[in-house]
Structure 1
């Protein structure tokens, strides 16, 4: 368990078989955590820049060594002349790149501040995960370091018979890196300006949420009553925080070796504190502590990885802020509702609730709880419905979305949709005094007022 340890408690069952399911990727949690950092890509770029400079310096030295062995001193003298002209350019590159790095930081901070204040503090994570931002910062820092290292390669010796290296290839690579930096800077500015527009932010959140939904297991939900009696329990001994994700492959492997079934008690996104149970064990003793190390990851905030409801949470937050009296922007709320309906439509027929993860033999080894259909519908509509009164644009769009979902959802999942539709109609009846206004506010419209 990352950020802490886990220990079995409560000593002591059966587990079911089934069809073989898609195996989870072992390194997926690590990959996602690295995407949530700003240090990894620039650090890798600096290391790559050092390796590239070393390789280029070796080639430059080899070229000079070959020319000296052939006694072609005139060619060496020509290389020295070209390198002298390039030295001033390389010096300019070093100072200019620091200015560019400062500009990138300034633009990023302004964009993050505006997004946090206008949309929701939770959308800041989109900027942290932005590939173009990381690529731009990485290339800028790598170019700066490469140019500094290239300056150290210039030899003060002018005699072609004594010169050991002429940084010709290094200078060419530095110029190419500058060209790449300029292209990335244009792309970065364009991408950042787009991310300051609410439509693109909402679209990005929706795409991330849909990506999580696609990764959910496709087998039928697990009947937890068939797991048998609880035989042990695994508690959390790390720091308190939000359960970000579970290393499914590691948990399944630990359960298979022990011959038991693990059931994850908290859902992804729940806040856990030390001493609370994380897993219940069915069918035998708990796996050893070392086998379950780094199985669950706890952090300070929720992430998209494995969190089915986080996208709806962000979309709902954006809509609620847009409907607040201080902002009063119902059109943004309608845009958020568009994506909420899109997400719910995509999972309308997906298995939800308790999902099983199987080992290579098709035996269920890990049972994980995810939000059920009613919980997702409530998350998408309940709070917005309470703030939509007095905004017919929003109530009309919500009614149209509910009607669309009623056509797409199976019969057994229609009840939450009908409940929200009835509650919205009742609220409008109480809040809007004029009959004509009530009729207008309760007329479904996919554009709100279109």
Structure 2
């Protein structure tokens, strides 16, 4: 039951953040309540309102009110259709021009949600109030809900202003600089939330216990992307089972039902886990590990890098041919890698009250993040010396902030690979020499030297 509640809460929260329908649906529901409630309130208070208040309320007759509400409803349907069309066009542009993985950045935009909700809510409210306005006939008494009609007029004015703000916001949204900045900011927030600072020089980071030969595999129960894991529930279950667990799949990995994603073994006893404890841990893995149809940034440190790398590589494709965007993307990748170099990227260790390690959660290493940032851009930028130059400069910047010896080894390995790539290209003598000099500067940065770039 607890797992079901947790899953339902997570699914609902994700829907409100990344889908377009929840906020407009809520706005329509609120509009119906107000459209029914305010006319009833009018029926009780309109005759008792002071003159100072009624001077600011709608002063026309029932026919005028019906005309105003009809015009509002008809125009808002047109405006809402335009807003939806522009939103869909923006999503299509982001998917085809930049990367399909950027769609989450657009669909979770609160201004888009609020704009659609306000327009649909105002339309629903106007139609709901319209049904209560009555002209005086032989068999019925005239009824004009002054407060309700006035509220409809105010909502229409707010909707017009919102449309202007939405159009201005949309023109900014489709700029690649804005998209890269948003992804960069989200990734930086995820890193700060999930990663602690790296231990200082001379401080030995705690090590994860080795996985013994008698460890038994625990398998995924659903196929999809590993999005998040409930650490507290996982730790509590391993403590109750007197076991240790090593989760060797990363958030963002693609899981296949029936394949191993973790290993477990007894904390004290020799040999493998008994059948009861293994079944308990297997059920725990199924209950604590969330699997979705797409990657999210909730616990996936590498997802933001993946998005920016996609934009960079797409910009280098012959169909787009936008090296300037690729250079901008490499700048954001460099900033994120420099931030990651100062973080503790070792496995996350969950301990019991006695200090014993009970759960080991694998995290992307610096080597994996560096490979993600360099491999594909290096492959597709090989024909463009300017983009390749920015890629080498990125390595130089990362080399300057990296302090761990293992980080230096990874950077040197990437330098050697890029050297081979340069030698295979048909660059001119000047470009060839310039790129090799920049690669030498990467090695100098590793030892704390940063000579100034000579003027051309």
TM-score by length of 2: 0.80
CA RMSD of superposed structures (Å): 3.7
Q: Does 1:400 align with 2:393?
A: yes
Please state how far the C-alpha of 1:82 moved relative to its aligned partner: 5.0
Q: For residues 281-316 of structure 1, give each alpha carbon's deviation from its aligned partner in whole angstroms, at most 9, with x where no partner exists.
A: 454725478766652222222122211111111111
Q: Does 1:44 align with 2:12?
A: no
Corresponding residue number in structure 1 for 2:79: 100
Residue 182 of structure 2, aligned match among 204, 226, 233 = 204
Q: Does 1:440 align with 2:450?
A: no
Q: Which has the higher contact order (CA 8 A, sep 6+)?
A: 1
Identify which range, 53-62 or 394-403, moves more after superposition.
53-62
Residue 243 of structure 1, aligned match among 226, 232, 246 = 226
Residue 248 of structure 2, aligned match among 243, 261, 265 = 265
Aligned residues: 420
Give the 5 Å matches for 1:170-189: 170-189=148-167
Quick one: distance in 1 between partners of 2:29 and 2:225? 33
Q: For residues 201-247 of structure 1, give each alpha carbon's deviation from its aligned partner in whole angstroms, at most 9, with x where no partner exists.
A: 11111111111111114287663326878776543333x21112223
Quick one: distance in 2 between partners of 1:263 and 1:34? 33
Q: Does 1:345 align with 2:338?
A: yes
Q: Is the 8 A contact 2:129 2:149 kept in 1?
A: yes
Q: Does 1:215 align with 2:197?
A: no
Please state how far the C-alpha of 1:86 moved relative to its aligned partner: 2.9
Q: Is the 8 A contact 2:330 2:390 kept in 1?
A: yes
Please state how far the C-alpha of 1:140 moved relative to its aligned partner: 1.0
Corresponding residue number in structure 2 for 1:7: none
Q: Is the 8 A contact 1:251 1:295 kept in 2?
A: yes
Q: Is the 8 A contact 1:3 1:297 kept in 2?
A: no
Give the 5 Å matches for 1:18-417: 30-64=12-46, 81-82=60-61, 84-157=63-136, 166-218=144-196, 223-225=207-209, 234-238=218-222, 240-255=223-238, 260-283=243-266, 285=277, 287=280, 294-357=287-350, 366-412=359-405, 413-417=407-411
Inter-CA distance 172–349: structure 2 relative to 1 (3 Å threshold)? same
Unaligned 5+ residue runs, structure 2?
Answer: 200-204, 267-272, 442-451
Identify which range, 317-326 or 133-142, moves more after superposition.
317-326
Q: For residues 352-393 of structure 1, give each alpha carbon's deviation from its aligned partner in whole angstroms, at most 9, with x where no partner exists.
A: 131134678977554321210000000001111112223121
Inter-CA distance 265–65: structure 2 relative to 1 (3 Å threshold)? farther
Corresponding residue number in structure 1 for 2:445: none
Quick one: distance in 2 between partners of 1:290 and 1:241? 18
SS across alignment from 2:114: helix
Q: Is the 8 A contact 2:246 2:360 kept in 1?
A: yes
Unaligned 5+ residue runs, structure 1?
Answer: 5-25
